[in-house]
Structure 1
Amino acid sequence: MILRTQVRALVRRPARALLTGLALTIAAGAVFGTVLAHQVTRQVVVEQLSQTPTATDLVVGANPALDTLEKVRAVPGVVEATGRVDDFAELDRTSSAYLQISADPGTGPLAKVRLVQGRYPSAPGDVALTRRTADRLRLPVGTSFGLLIGTADTDDPESARPVVRATVTAMVEGDDDTAYTTDVLATRLAAVDGWTQIDVRVAPGVSVDAVRAKVAAVVGPDARDSIATGAEARASEQRAALADIDAVFVAMSLFVLLAIVAAALVTASTFRIVFAQRLRQLALLRAVGADRRKLARALAAEGALTGLVAAVLGVLAATALGLLAPLVLRGFDIDAPRLDFPVGAALAVVAGTVLITMLTVLAPAFAAARVAPLEALRTASTTSGQRGIGVARTVLGALVAGGAVAGAAGGAVIVLGDSRGDDGNVTALLLVVGSFALAFLALVVLGPVVVRPVLTVVSWPLRRQGAIGRLASSGVGAAPRRAASVSAVVALGVALIALTLVVGATTQAATDRKTASMAPEDFNLTAVDGAVVPDGVVTAARARPELTAVVPYRTATVRVGASQSEVLATDLDLRQLAPQSSTPDPRPAPDPRQPLANATAGMPGAGHAALDQRVARAAGVRPGGFVTVAAGDRTIAVRVAVILDATPLGTGMIVSAADLDRLGVRPGATGLLANAARSGESGRTAAYQALESISPAGQGLRLSVLADLRDETRESNTVVIAVLLALISLTVVVAVVGVGTTTALSVVERVRESGLLRAVGLSRAGLTVMLTTEAALYGALGATVGVLLGLPYAAMAIKVFHRTVPVELPFGQLAVAVVVLTALTALAGLLPARRAARVSPIEALATDG
């Protein structure tokens, strides 16, 4: 009977049930959405990354000989066979540009590219390029250019390589930096003696096994054992491609698990509020003979039913989004497969959500079932939340906090030790992660104690603004356990965001410095095979409007120290490089075990040198000491002025031009750095073409685009950070929903309080602002605690892997995160606040609350 009574109450108020389980709905939707995304992604990746077309019936591998292709085509039952080539050819021009030579029929079921302009190659020398490749290399349709066949002879660098003339006849959709042509024509452009593989299509109705046996009879003995069906070849490619995809989704599941934890915390807090609001009903049930255990079981069953509804809604919502995903992907010209509904996964998500709900509702249910029957005689139907925590909870929180401190201390000892290997890194990382988990658990246990002082600080500006600010602050402070439960979830999300932002900013700064050492400017024009950059080229480069920050330099191979280790020395003047965020940092390498000289922004003077930290370590030298440098039969001694994190362009030391002269290095620049005068791809392309036009052919000059390396590195870091923030946002969404739910339910139990405030003169707008400010305070509390929790663990995580890298604090991004979270929680509380303000004071005062 008790259970039936509770279910009826749940059915009478479905909105409250949906509100109670909203966080669970989001979590269930996220879990099932991840399952569907994994399914769709696997299928899309298989189609996009598979190198074997779906129409392929047989694949002959093991690099079959060139004459094997015609033999395979002559086999009865073979409709089509195409050879695949995978080789590179260098353009016969100043720039060190390479094109991958790829064989593709261009049309038909075995084609992997799609023609978008022109005529697909059909004559010797014809090639097809992607539009981006054609624009960068200035090779539009109709252009003829030379390709150097084979690789340079290292024993005779001056030996000439054969040049084949090629003509661009088409633009295709395919891989960039690739020249496509037919299989027979590809063998004339690439120095190959066999096919990478041969793809075979069998005539309809013909047995693939029978054709396979006939093909095996005509191919060589080495290729005979490598014949596979198209399905087998695609399955092998899929296993390789899906291994990384599965690893990514395993990482994603960890973030989904965090969202589940957040949803469980929000749900437990919500059930406490709901049960507290039904105090009189529960006391009446006790008064008429309801047993505590039966009442607790009824409340737990009510929670399980709420979880069931929430899980079903979450699964349905994720399914709806999954059905829309193929339509969205097709808008980007990505063929997405039809979604197969995983019934087993759906049932598992529903069952798991119900189980989690039952676990979260047990403690509130047993606490509510302990209500005394005499509580039915109280005039209020609700009870105020407990303000403190018991002794047992205090002791437990202290023990957990002590474990967090011990874990952090253990990680610090390993990090700061004189010697540590990879095992030490893993151990320290595990200690830091464990310490973070314990610290968050301590926050959950000791939350009401932590909230009070933080609330005093956070709400100080509000209290000074007037009565509304003081009322909002006191409203949150009146229920510290409730505030702690909600703000803890917000704190988890903000702590993860702070950790990601700090680690991302530090990694980006370190990567920028390292990348700037390898690519200090956009372009690098180098002389090879003992040549020099003509003075006329330097003068012309400085005169071109497409170029800026033109810096010539010399390099020479020298022997350093007693070990006579060979390193590359340069006289590149860092002061002449363009001022930008990625300019090589001349800061000393921060090694605490090695006293360093003060770094300067200038270049080493005559008799002085700046050493890369690896070179200095190998030579056993410190700042202020002397090291010998030898080239040929000349040896000089230089004083080490500073040890750098990294020296530019892969060199090992920077010396003055005078010291290179003393070593007998020939005059004349061996390289020239330059930046594009205009930003963007168009500016970079114009600069590239300008450098190419002023560089005479046949003088041993090679042009490299260093800016692409910087862009790729920065873009990859940005993508990783964006993905992490997107995954963490799931936890933040759950936290914001928790704030909105708490505010909505709090409004219900404080109807009389709201009416009293209206009766004494508080306007409807004032009440709305007060309740919205309370919701914002939940977010501000959690954001403040989250930042304080996330920053030290971010620093520890950085030091685990890079002890000498300085921690970068992105104060602006952190401030934006705090403001945005506070604003989101305020918005979450706005709707229930407006609903409460619409209730008239007379109705509110007459409410039994």
Structure 2
Amino acid sequence: MLKVALRGIRAHLVRFLMSLLAVALGVAFVAGSFALRAMLSGTFDQIVDASTPADVYVRVAPQGSGDGGDPDAADGGSGDAGGSGMAALAGAAAPVPPEAQAVVEAVPSVAQVLPEVQGSLVLVGADGTAVAAAGGAPTYGLAYYPDDPATRIVAGRAPTGDAEIALESGGLAVSGLAVGDTTTIVVAGDVREVTVVGEVAYDTPAAGTTLVLFPADVALAAFGPLGPAQLAIYAADDVDPETLAADVGDALASAQAAGTVPASDLEVVTGEQLRQESKDAIGEVLGFITTFLLVFAAIALFVGAFIISNTFAMSVRQRMKEFAMLRAVGASPTQVFVSILVQAAVVGLVGSAFGLAGGLALVEGLQAFLAAMGMELGGSVPVDAPTVVVSVLVGTVVSVVAAAVPARRAALVPPVEAMREEVTTTDASLVPRSVVGGVLVALGVAAVALATADPGRAQVGWWLGAGAGGVLVGVLLLAPVLVRAALGWLAWPFAVAVRPMGGLARGNVTRNPRRTANTAGALMIGMALVGAASVIATSTQASVADIVAEQTDADLIVTSASGGVPDGVADAVAAVPGVGRVDEVRYAQAELRDAAGASLTDGPGPGLVVALGPGTLGTTLLVDVVDGDPDAALAAGEAVVNRSIAPDLEVGDTVDVVGATRLTLTVGAVIDGSVPRGPLTVSREVLDEIAPPAAQVVDSLFVQAADDDLDADGLARLQDDVKAAVVPFVVVSVLTSDEFVSQLSSQVDQVLAILYALLGLSIVIAVLGIVNTLALSVIERTREIGLLRAVGLGRLQLSVTIVIESVLTAVFGTAVGLVIGVGLAATLPTIYADQGLSELAIGWANLALMLLVAVVVGVLAAVWPAVRASRLKVLDAVSYE
């Protein structure tokens, strides 16, 4: 039977090519996801190893983990806190006291101590604009140490003064600058003119990050005025890291006990421990990316399963007499069943092999593209055993499972069918399938309604997801019933306007509703996701516009492309004639916990603490005051809580805030609104206690004109004047409210474009399914086509008939998918209104465009099957069996 199965593939190769291609596309996504994760992980592991070469590190223990920041933790133990070992990529929340360095340097087993600091800045490139690295990678400033083994000067010399910098090779290339050039940088609001005096190279790529190196004293003053982020310690000869860590821990504990080092949550870890912590943290992020990509791979494979199932179902229908003959000569039902599964396994294995090669080639192309954009990824594309095994296994299992039902049908064909002129097949009743589908739709709608009725319900996301899944699967089961009703209506214009081809096409697509439903189902899934993404995007944009219109009252909004507005901008804007008020929104990260110790953030990480000036709330930021007096609370050093983010806190409650210091704040007022966007708002003076100025970020400035009745021309002139005032800060944008909304909307559009590109794979596979079904249908109807041609149907008429069939199938799948996706996504503003998604907006023009695309897809998918059908010879077709 193995030979029979393989000969069957060889004899009907065209029938299986589309299934093979569908498997290959889905598996390419799986293999590419794993390979990309492995390559990114390898690149970042190299960066971690290169950026944390020291034997031991001293840092302030990350809060909210490990021992919870016990002041007695500076005992040389490693702790289990998840901190950052990448000095060039992340910094500690609190600085190491400067006094600690002298204590560590006095330890006999210490050979060298390097204080490490880092901070974001703006670098102006050769073209006079801020350097923008690939993928939005940031620009960081670091301290340069001549004895640091991680860095080496490859051109020019080391920076020595406060007007000199060195650039890492990748940043130098992206900026267009050269050694000897003069440029401008913006550090903590200070605009400086500097000269590039050297080029620094690392053993590993910086993954697109632009690194600017300063003399150590300049970097410490700019990025670590209260102390370095951590101390990198190198051991003396013949001293192992564990011994060094113990010696340093003992020395610091003694110094803290004696009062020579301020009491703080100092932690001593070995370099290996720190490197592993960083790799684990990066692994979690990459794991999310992999999962995100694998979700789309799963969608592609699920859609591909429809093609495989359709292919084998039609193949079994056409070869029923062949299977009956096998039964007649002694083949058992099991042997016939296994022979079909063998064919499916071969399709899966070959398709997986092509998909694996395609996925790796895709990642290589992505690596080359990113390198051309300045984001160099280290190493070659990895081909490891797990990637190969998982990719091949997934593709093969999907193929075999999809072919199981058609295989069972082939196995049950009676041997007596071999003696008949024609084998008749009777489809099972649609009633059981329709009942199950109806029940699933009802349960799904009930789950979605439950989530909508009680948005505050625990696990509301799971209820919504389960409901959406039930609705989608239920509609797929009901699709054959929908085909007969919907396509009869959709085909009516064709039947009336394009005779007789429209009537023939309608009969062909409704004659076998299962096949048509399965073909359309592949497109239905992709379009349901596209429709949902479209509604989410338009609703997000409408919600953003509503928030800006309803909760802000500013004539101009000042933002920064670098992630933070430089400190000097507020003063520069306030000095512009015609400006009446400038309100600054500043924030920092800190651990936030209520009196019971529960975190005020969704996860274990830090939350945002926002600082506002007097009178901001109620003037440029409009919020609903639930309880208390926000201005009085801020003036008294108390906290204002945003109910939409922290609903359980009331006036009089306390909140523990752990940043550079540990504070307990009393809640003095409760507000409700989407701005400010942190759970806690404090005064600037309190924020300075929570985080040093270097760790604070100015998110935006809200500007009101001095003239309350400023017309459009006057506002345009004021905007020009403010733009002129902030030119020295390079990255600052001055926007009207409408421009600010447009900027935010463009960011949503960018995310939507990525989703459309990923979902496009499932749509491509669905189109292949339509092509495959039509081609197999032409083979199945060869004799019928011959008879139609014999009685006068022309080649063009036959081609038009097949095109209409394809368009009807594509429009049906698209329309049903869009109804499902839009209907489910329309519930999200009700469920997530408190998270800012408050407005429902449906882009009807986009949906109409998708239906038009479905027509185009249908026409394109029908080209090859139509040409093939029109070329059939009439006499051969009439005599075809």
Q: 1:354 and 1:535 mapped to 2: Cα distance?
A: 66
- Which residue, 238, 242, 252 being the options, matches 1:222? 252
Check whether the contact 1:555–1:670 (CA below 8 A) recurs between aligned residues: no
**Partner residue, 1:811:** 844
Check whether the contact 1:533–1:668 (CA below 8 A) recurs between aligned residues: no
Check whether the contact 2:15–2:772 (CA below 8 A) recurs between aligned residues: no
**Partner residue, 1:429:** 461
**Partner residue, 1:121:** 159
Check whether the contact 1:554–1:669 (CA below 8 A) recurs between aligned residues: no
The CA deviation at 1:844 is: 2.0
Deviation per CA, 1:118-172, whole angstroms, max 9, x where unpaired?
976322443468999x99xxxx9657999899xxxxxxxxxxxxx9987455698
- Which residue, 332, 353, 361 being the options, matches 2:403? 361
Q: 2:290 and 2:712 mapped to 1: Cα distance?
A: 40
Scaled by the length of structure 2, the TM-score of the pair is 0.67
Task: Verify: 1:307 aligned to 2:353, yes or no.
Answer: no
Q: 1:776 and 1:112 mapped to 2: Cα distance?
A: 63
Task: Verify: 1:465 aligned to 2:497, yes or no.
Answer: yes
The CA deviation at 1:331 is: 2.6
Q: 1:552 and 1:42 mapped to 2: Cα distance?
A: 51
Deviation per CA, 1:369-390, whole angstroms, max 9, x where unpaired?
3323343344447x5784x734
**Partner residue, 2:589:** none
- Which residue, 484, 492, 501 being the options, matches 2:517? 484
SS at match of 1:808: coil
Check whether the contact 1:554–1:571 (CA below 8 A) recurs between aligned residues: no
Deviation per CA, 1:801-840, whole angstroms, max 9, x where unpaired?
1178231001122222333244234323322221222222
Check whether the contact 2:27–2:297 (CA below 8 A) recurs between aligned residues: no
Alignment of 1:696-775 (within 5 A): 705=734, 713-714=744-745, 716-775=747-806
Q: 2:302 and 2:776 mapped to 1: Cα distance?
A: 21
Q: 1:364 and 1:177 mapped to 2: Cα distance?
A: 57
Letter in 2 for 1:521: L
The CA deviation at 1:104 is: 2.9
Alignment of 1:352-501 (within 5 A): 352-380=394-422, 386=427, 389-415=429-455, 420=456, 424=457, 426-467=458-499, 468-501=501-534
Deviation per CA, 1:767-792, whole angstroms, max 9, x where unpaired?
33322332222211100110111111
Distance 1:364 1:687, change over 3 A: farther
Q: 1:431 and 1:471 mapped to 2: Cα distance?
A: 44
Q: 2:454 and 2:440 mapped to 1: Cα distance?
A: 21
- Which residue, 712, 717, 724 being the options, matches 1:690? 724
The CA deviation at 1:277 is: 0.8
**Partner residue, 1:8:** 7
**Partner residue, 1:21:** 20
**Partner residue, 2:116:** 84
The CA deviation at 1:86 is: 3.6
- 119-128 or 304-313, which deviates more: 119-128
Check whether the contact 1:768–1:834 (CA below 8 A) recurs between aligned residues: yes
Q: 2:542 and 2:827 mapped to 1: Cα distance?
A: 17
**Partner residue, 2:304:** 263
The CA deviation at 1:489 is: 1.7
SS at match of 1:446: helix
Alignment of 1:219-368 (within 5 A): 221-222=251-252, 230-333=271-374, 334-368=376-410
Q: 1:466 and 1:783 mapped to 2: Cα distance?
A: 22
The CA deviation at 1:335 is: 2.8
Distance 1:316 1:336, change over 3 A: same
The CA deviation at 1:478 is: 1.9
Q: 1:208 and 1:830 mapped to 2: Cα distance?
A: 76
SS at match of 1:60: strand
Structure (1 or 2) with the larger CA radius of gyration: 1
RMSD: 5.5
Letter in 1 for 2:476: V
SS at match of 1:103: strand
The CA deviation at 1:746 is: 1.1
Task: Verify: 1:56 aligned to 2:53, yes or no.
Answer: yes
Check whether the contact 2:248–2:268 (CA below 8 A) recurs between aligned residues: no
Distance 1:142 1:359, change over 3 A: closer
Q: 1:831 and 1:368 mapped to 2: Cα distance?
A: 28
Scaled by the length of structure 1, the TM-score of the pair is 0.70
**Partner residue, 1:614:** 624
**Partner residue, 1:596:** none
Q: 2:710 and 2:142 mapped to 1: Cα distance?
A: 33
Check whether the contact 1:57–1:201 (CA below 8 A) recurs between aligned residues: yes
SS at match of 1:538: coil
Stretches of structure 2 that go unaligned for 5 or more consecutive residues are 60-95, 124-138, 201-205, 255-265, 585-613, 630-634, 636-670, 682-703
Letter in 1 for 2:556: E
Letter in 1 for 2:779: V
Distance 1:537 1:176, change over 3 A: farther
Q: 1:146 and 1:482 mapped to 2: Cα distance?
A: 64
Check whether the contact 1:459–1:777 (CA below 8 A) recurs between aligned residues: yes
SS at match of 2:821: helix
Letter in 1 for 2:279: Q
Deviation per CA, 1:532-590, whole angstroms, max 9, x where unpaired?
99999436xxxxxxxxxxx756999xxxxxxxxx9646677xxxxxxxxxxxxxxxxxx
Letter in 2 for 1:734: I
Letter in 2 for 1:25: A
Check whether the contact 1:64–1:219 (CA below 8 A) recurs between aligned residues: no
Letter in 2 for 1:805: S
**Between Structure 1 and Structure 2, how many residues are aligned?**
711
The CA deviation at 1:180 is: 4.0
Task: Verify: 1:521 aligned to 2:548, yes or no.
Answer: no
SS at match of 2:142: strand
Q: 1:75 and 1:432 mapped to 2: Cα distance?
A: 62
SS at match of 1:181: strand
Task: Verify: 1:784 aligned to 2:815, yes or no.
Answer: yes
Q: 1:513 and 1:757 mapped to 2: Cα distance?
A: 60
The CA deviation at 1:67 is: 9.3
Q: 1:834 and 1:239 mapped to 2: Cα distance?
A: 56
Letter in 2 for 1:799: T
**Partner residue, 2:41:** 42
Aligned residues with identical type, % of pairs: 23
SS at match of 1:245: helix
Deviation per CA, 1:41-80, whole angstroms, max 9, x where unpaired?
32334456x4x635824353333748959996999997x9
